Structures are given as structure tokens and as C-alpha cells.
Amino acid sequence: MAARYVRAFHEANPALPLGILSLVTGYGDTGAALCRSGVDKIAFTGSTRTGSKIMATCAETLTPVVLECGGKDPVIVAADADIAAAAEAVAWGAFTNGGQTCVGVERVYVERSVAAQFTGTLVQHARAIAPGGDASATYGPMTMPSQIDIVRRHLADAEAAGGRALIGGLPSIGERFVGPTVLVDTPENCSAVREETFGPTVTVREVDSIEEAIELSNHHRYALGASVFSRSHAEEIAAQLVCGQVTVNSVIAFAGMGSVPMGGVGASGFGRVHGDEGFAEFCRTHSRVTKLFDIPGFELVTLRRRRWVMPLIDRVLGLRHRR
């Protein structure tokens, strides 16, 4: 995808010199060299662990950074939600691209009165999903073998802690592909809930109230995105979630809107991309103050300033800015 963007940029701007926009691929040593190359700013998207290394390396030269790191994005489903729409959206948010999406859905908190209906509908969607490498596949392989190991560890931890896979689970893990997995009864302290899985898995937990759902959503080191499904209280719920962005009655919608700032809180990073805030991240503020006229006897920048000048300034500023 990055290569296509670079190619399209050059095709659209043939008069610009080469090097205005470049693409360099590589592993960790390439990234480390980039951090020390003298660029003005580094913007990174990836894991919190790698983001911490980038931040430490850039600190050597005081190179500023924007870090959009890992996520464990929650979804809250209220009793008054459109359950069919919520289940379909969660299935897409959790399983699209094999779950390898930084703002993908990884955990769901659903009110108990509609939990069975929601979970059953979600499993139905999962049963219609087929990973593979041909045109009929819903999604493709895991990008890195190491990511399969992480998914396997999380599912094993969930099973050992009493979690149940209603579909998928450990038997669905192949050499390159992982089947869609819906986990229930998974404790909150399990790695499948506490760590970013970045695979086609989602945990579902029944809650007694929306207040409990909000508390569980916020009680996490990751705070990238979140979603809320409710016909009557979505905005109220969304306002209480600690994260970078919230989608109401949908999932991941903000990622496709260039005008909406996007970024994380806590272990999910800091800084913003997209929108006015994202544009400002890559600009330097340059301030200028010009003296327009003199006031005889009222010079401020002098060692011979008269005694009455500062009390008068205090008085004037107090009158000007009082509320």
C-alpha cells in the first residue's frame, strides 16, 4: 500500500524533484538508522514495545516523535442497541484483515439482557468467514510467523484461565492462517484481554450495567479507539471513555476520515495524525513580535525603568483581562 501511495504521488506531481517523497523498506536496523539520520520528525505506527525503542533512540538527538502504538479496542453494546447491526459491525472490526488492524475490535462488553442474542449473532457471522489465499477467502494469512505465536499464546492462556472458544480457538491455528475466534468467560487479567493480540480473535464479556462496561473499557493500559452501540445513550457513554477516538453505532469509521484526528492515549502512544491537529504535528510554530511605537517614559526593556511602570501595567492588565 505504501509503495502505491508513493508511486501515485510521483505520477500526480511529475514536475517535482525525486526525493520529495521516498519509501525505504527494512527491519529494525533500518528503522534505527532512520531515527539517527537527522530527519526533522518521526511518525511511527506499530507496537508499543517498538515505539518505546524509537522514542529512546530519537531522544539521543531530541528528534520529536508521533507514536501511534498498540490497541486493545473495546466495544460497548447497550441493551437498547441494534443488536444485529452491532454483531455484524463487531465481526467486521474483529476479523477483517485477519484482525491485523491497529484499531481493530478486540474486546466487547455487552449488557447481560442482550448478551446471548449478540453473541449468537456474532458467532453466526464468524461461521460464514473463511481465511485463505484464494479469491473466495474472507481474509488472508498472518503477516509474520511471530504473530501467529502471539495469537497461539493468548488463546492458550484464555483456555487455561477458563475461557471458552465458541468458534475457532487453538484448533483453528494453521501454519499461515488463523480462523475467526470468539472467546467468552475469559478473565480480565488474562493476556487475551490485557495484551494486543493483533489477530482474528475477540473476547465477549457480559456486564450488569453500562457503568461496569465503561469501567472495564477504561481499566486498561491501551487507549487507542473504542466503539459504542446504543440507540439512546451512545453519546453519553462515548464521552466517558478514555481513548483517542470513539465510533458511535459503527466501528473504525474514524480511520477513513481524513478530517478526524487520530491517535492514542497511554500505552497507545501520543500525538495525532489526520485533521488540523495532525497537520499541526508536522509544522513548527514560528512567532514574531514587532514593536510598533514608543510611549515616552514607558519603556519596558530598559534597566532604567521607572518605579511606577510595573504597578501601572499590573493595573491595566487586570482591567483588560478581568472576568
Name the band, by pLDDT with cuts 50, 70 and 90, for residue 300: confident
Q: pLDDT for 95-154, tens place per residue?
A: 999 999 999 999 999 999 999 999 999 999 999 999 999 999 999 999 989 999 999 999
pLDDT at 44: 96
Alpha helices in the chain (DSSP H): 2-12, 28-35, 48-59, 83-95, 112-127, 145-160, 191-194, 210-218, 234-238, 275-281, 309-321
Query: What does DSSP say about strands 265-266 and 222-223: parallel, antiparallel, or unpaired?
Result: antiparallel
Q: Which of 97, 123, 98 is nearest to 108 (CA)?
A: 123
Q: Which of 56, 166, 71, 59 is nearest to 121 (CA)?
A: 166
Neighbours of 177 (CB within 10 A): 19
Residue 67 makes CB contacts below 8 A (sequence gap 6+) with 44, 51, 54, 55, 264, 269, 270, 271
Active-site residue 188, yes or no?
Answer: no
For the chain, give the mean pLDDT. 95
Residue 284: phi, psi to the nearest 5?
Answer: -105, 130
Size (the chain), residues: 323
Instruction: Return d(Cα 90, Cα 125) in angstroms, integer.
Output: 10
The greatest distance separating any two alpha carbons of the chain, rounded to the nearest whole angstrom, comes to 86
Residue 298 has pLDDT above 90, yes or no: no
Q: Which of 134, 207, 131, 216 is nearest to 167 (CA)?
A: 131
Helix H or strand E encompassing 109: strand 105-111
Residue 323 has pLDDT above 90, yes or no: no
Cell 480511520 appears where? 255
CB of 236 closer than 8 Å to CB of 256: no
Q: Where are the domains of the chain?
A: 2-69+274-281, 73-251
Q: pLDDT for 57-99, tens place per residue?
A: 999 999 999 999 999 999 999 999 999 999 999 999 999 999 9
Instruction: Return d(Cα 318, Cα 297) in angstroms, integer.
Output: 21
pLDDT at 322: 83
Instruction: Return d(Cα 126, Cα 115) in angstroms, integer.
Output: 16
Active-site residue identified among 102, 111, 206, 281: 102
Alpha helices in 163-262 (DSSP H): 191-194, 210-218, 234-238
Active-site residue 58, yes or no?
Answer: no
Query: What does DSSP say about strands 164-167 and 181-184: parallel, antiparallel, or unpaired?
Result: antiparallel
Residue 299 has pLDDT above 90, yes or no: no
Q: Which of 76, 151, 75, 69 is nearest to 102 (CA)?
A: 69
Active-site residue identified among 58, 68, 111, 190: 68
Neighbours of 187 (CB within 10 A): 15
CB of 73 closer than 8 Å to CB of 105: yes
Instruction: Return d(Cα 156, Cα 169) in angstroms, integer.
Output: 8
pLDDT at 116: 98
CB of 94 closer than 8 Å to CB of 199: no
DSSP 8-class letter at 27: S
Quickly name the fold that domain 73-251 has.
Aldehyde Dehydrogenase; Chain A, domain 2 (3.40.309)
Residue 1 Cα distances to 5, 6, 37, 96, 99, angstroms: 6, 9, 24, 16, 17
Instruction: Return d(Cα 302, Cα 90) in angstroms, integer.
Output: 66
The model's pTM is 0.91
